[in-house]
Amino acid sequence: MAVNEKGELVTVDNVTADNVASTLWCTTVTVENQGKAPIYDFVNKGAEALLSVTMDDFAKNAMQTTKNSLVGGEIAGWAFSGTYANALEAERPLYSYFQEDSVVGLVLDAKNNVRLKKAEGTDKKIEAAGFATFTLVEADGIALNAKQINTKLGIQDAANGVKLTFNPDRNNTSLENPFSDVAFIAKDTRDGSFVYVTRKADNQYLHVDTAYTNVNSDKFLAFNYKKALSKDLADQGKFLFTYFPSHDSLVIQVKQATRLSASVKDWKEALKNGDKTIISKNEDDKNYVTVQDLVKADEIRIVTIADVKETDITLGFTGCVQAGTDKVSLEDGLYVIQNAETNKYLASPIHVDGAASEWVTVDKAEQNVMHMPAYQWVVLKTKTSEYFLSTSPVNVTNREYPSLKNPPYNTTDKVLKNGASWQLTQAEGSKLYYCKALSSDSLVITKITDKNILGDKYLGYKYLTDDELMITNYAFNYFNPYTMDKYIAQVEGDTTLNALQEEATFFELVKQNDNKTVAYGYTVDATVQARIEVWLSLKELLIRSKLVRT
């Protein structure tokens, strides 16, 4: 069973490196009182989603659904194996109670599509329901291609570079481990599942050197780099990465390792006629990248090639909480978003009036984004399961113009339309964020915590009561950095206004639409209110008015 790209429960016939993440399930067991059956929760590693379904998928009075079910619903916590401490039972149904005496379980139709089915909650009725049975098994080893290595099966950007974890690793030596000390980028070869390994810093190719790290006692092969691999060295630079996802265990083997022999003492000749060990697949059980003791008493260890694997290598794709990922999330709340390079703010400025989002320059001497709802963004996680709070993508909605959502990066037009949810990343130790979907630059994202700003439903606007409209007149000073002594005025006999007069002209504001307010801005429903501490709403706009000269 797997979760596809649409978030639907499906079955897959074969597990490959491309779909393995979607077939992995992390399992937790909740044990209540003694004698009660354990409750199982399953989290899909690839989709980062809890196995939960909704009864809304059922048509009225239907006992079984007829379409794929999306994960994410009110039903979770499944009956599965009656035993768990020493061994799990095989071929067990998955079902959960949606009422005190009724269950919903998973079934497969004639085409092996996953469907939901209702049944009464008695043992006899559950058995008669024909729920599909499942068995938890460990995933087989899978050869990884370059993309899968570089993205660590999707948990990082392919351009970041990869560093693996060795346990034990090299120790008490200046000789680097080219897989854990040096960031690398894998490149596909035309030789089956083998890949090249290039140093990220300069794009040079890693290969097993025609040299030993030591000339005495045990002779351990060294690693080296070249700008390009000659034909006789090509196989010395082809590596096979075999991944065992259930244990986050990685086995690395080089296609060819060459050593000197009793009859061949020259390395150049050895590449032609020396002692070569060649593999074609993981099962050949040779040419492992491993750690060897150079001086055991001093705990001096180096990384080399051997026919016995003496270290554990992990990719960082462990558990259902991502390890080794640069993905981060934001707390639910209200934020301003600023480009760290240009200092511009993401907003819908007044001349656009909610038609689109733009990056806008702000003069802080004249403007305060904390009082400008069009420059503020409501952020909500897309995944609320405790497993993914730290890495969940977010939906970002403009506070004043809620039709503006998740603006995406656009290199050809400064106007940003709506897009999909954002996945934020952050370099270790940095306070800046990066969102590939939004910008090629880093971001400063600042949470607004002032309750006066969060709770001001007229933020950014002047709200006038009937009494204020009746007793107050206004002069409008021309806001200009070069002169402050000009006012809006109407020249006698002219029907237009200008800002040329130095004498203040006062206007009254005449109410329109019978002084009725106009709804605007992001509306916080009960669900969102439960996720954001302070009621954040812009329910009413200022009274629509017109100017009348007094």
Q: Which element (helix H / strand E) includes 198?
A: strand 195-199
Q: CB 230: neighbour CB atoms within 10 A?
A: 11
Whether the Cβ atoms of residue 141 and residue 186 lie closer than 8 Å to each other: no
pLDDT, averaged per 10 consecutive residues of the chain (550 residues), comes to: 92 88 88 76 86 93 94 90 86 95 96 96 95 92 94 88 95 94 97 97 96 78 96 96 91 96 87 91 95 81 94 82 74 95 94 91 91 95 79 92 86 69 89 88 94 87 83 87 85 82 87 76 79 56 48
- Say if residue 168 is preceded by a cis peptide, omega within 30 of 0: yes
Q: Which element (helix H / strand E) includes 546?
A: strand 545-549
The separation between the first and the last C-alpha atoms of the chain, rounded to the nearest angstrom, is 75
* Cα–Cα distance for residue pair 413/415, rounded to 1 Å: 5
* Cα–Cα distance for residue pair 356/339, rounded to 1 Å: 17
Please give the DSSP secondary-structure letter assigned to residue 459.
Answer: T
Say which amino acid occupies 162.
V
**334 burial level (CB within 10 Å; 0-12, 13-18, 19+):** buried
R_g over Cα of the chain? 32
- The per-residue pLDDT of the chain, averaged, comes to 88
Classify domain 327-448 at the CATH class level: mainly beta
pLDDT score at 427: 87
Whether the Cβ atoms of residue 460 and residue 192 lie closer than 8 Å to each other: no
* Cα–Cα distance for residue pair 189/107, rounded to 1 Å: 42
Helices (H), 446-516: 451-454, 466-471
- What is the residue-wise DSSP string for 372-410? -GGG-EEEEES--SGGGTTT--EEEEESS-TT-BSPPP-
Whether the Cβ atoms of residue 425 and residue 434 lie closer than 8 Å to each other: yes
pLDDT score at 54: 93
* Cα–Cα distance for residue pair 16/31, rounded to 1 Å: 34
* Cα–Cα distance for residue pair 292/214, rounded to 1 Å: 12
Residue the block writes with tokens 């039903």: 75
pLDDT score at 550: 47
- What are the residue boundaries of the structural domains of the chain, listed by start? 2-134, 142-314, 327-448, 466-549
Q: Is 269 helix (H, G, I), strand (E, B) or coil?
A: helix
* Cα–Cα distance for residue pair 235/198, rounded to 1 Å: 14
* Cα–Cα distance for residue pair 291/252, rounded to 1 Å: 12
* Cα–Cα distance for residue pair 208/220, rounded to 1 Å: 11
Whether the Cβ atoms of residue 79 and residue 36 lie closer than 8 Å to each other: no
C-alpha dihedral sign at 147, 152, 155, 160: negative
Q: CA-based diameter of the chain, in Å?
A: 112
Whether the Cβ atoms of residue 276 and residue 236 lie closer than 8 Å to each other: no
Which two tokens mark 281?
């697949």
Which two tokens mark 528?
């969102």
- The residues with which 477 forms a beta bridge, in sequence order, are 487
Residue the block writes with tokens 């002209």: 505
Kindly give, in sequence order, each residue whose CB lies less than 8 Å from that of residue 56, ignoring residues fewer than 6 positions away.
73
Whether the Cβ atoms of residue 458 and residue 542 lie closer than 8 Å to each other: yes
Q: What's the CA angle centered on 493, arms 487 and 494, to 5 degrees? A: 55
